[in-house]
A and B are shown apart, each in its own frame.
Chain A
Amino acid sequence: GENVEQHPSTLSVQEGDSAVIKCTYSDSASNYFPWYKQELGKGPQLIIDIRSNVGEKKDQRIAVTLNKTAKHFSLHITETQPEDSAVYFCAAIYNNAGNMLTFGGGTRLMVKP
């Protein structure tokens, strides 16, 4: 089955700096890679996703890159703000395999004002 590894487990940045979270996956058949933000005591919220037919996607301060050959994808947050502080999860899925997401272990991002 799919295995997703996420690094780092914790990340502390100064407000205004950029933050990068990286994930690797094992199943080359995976073709959809969402990123979720989870605030304390809440459910995960989809913030951006990328499909295997593109290499990069951007939405304002958030971007995701995908390297299918190396089987890794990354989340980039620019101009970080204190409200970006949360736990971020990457996930991978092969859409024909019962749609079960495999999650990374999570990254706790702390943005210091």
Chain B
Amino acid sequence: GAVVSQHPSWVICKSGTSVKIECRSLDFQATTMFWYRQFPKQSLMLMATSNEGSKATYEQGVEKDKFLINHASLTLSTLTVTSAHPEDSSFYICSARLVSTDTQYFGPGTRLTVL
């Protein structure tokens, strides 16, 4: 149980385009999901907290107009990287909080490469 999926697993796009990444909790409902980015050989950096039915909370330094987050249902949160640039290339990982145990389960990650 407690499986989180992400789609796509990898994406390559041209500079200036927008990319949407989906995060789904497959066998549980998640009122709270989190979005992280991870650069090579570094730890996970929290970008934002996504709450179902309300606006996301962004960490300091993360542009909310560039990284649009939508958490429209209890099993789905999306992250849209708008007008992507090469510096946005990274590994994006979501997690979902299982309320019953207060545990976070992570998705497999999405590798974004912006040319």
Contacts and interface: CB of A to CB of B under 8 A. Distances in A.
A20 interface: no
Given A41-B111, A42-B109, A100-B49, A89 B103 contact: no
A99 B106 contact: no
Given A43-B6, A43-B93, A34 B103 contact: yes
Contact-residue size bin, chain A (C-beta under 8 Å from the other chain): 20 to 34
Contacts of B65: none
A89 B36 CA distance: 14
Contacts of A106: 42-43
A104 B43 contact: yes
Contacts of B4: 43
A29 to B, nearest CB: 15
A16 interface: no
B68 interface: no
Interface of A: 32, 34, 36, 41-46, 49, 89, 95, 98-101, 103-106
